[in-house]
Chains A and B, each alone.
Chain A
Amino acid sequence: QQQVKQSPQSLIVQKGGISIINCAYENTAFDYFPWYQQFPGKGPALLIAIRPDVSEKKEGRFTISFNKSAKQFSLHIMDSQPGDSATYFCAASKGDYKLSFGAGTTVTVRA
Chain B
Amino acid sequence: DIQMTQSPSSLSASVGDRVTITCRASQSISSYLNWYQQKPGKAPNLLIYAATSLQSGVPSRFSGSGSGTDFTLTISSLQPEDFASYFCQQSYTTPRAFGPGTKVDIK
Do the two chains bind?
Answer: no
Which residues from chain A sit less than 8 Å from chain B, CB to CB?
none
Which residues from chain B sit less than 8 Å from chain A, CB to CB?
none
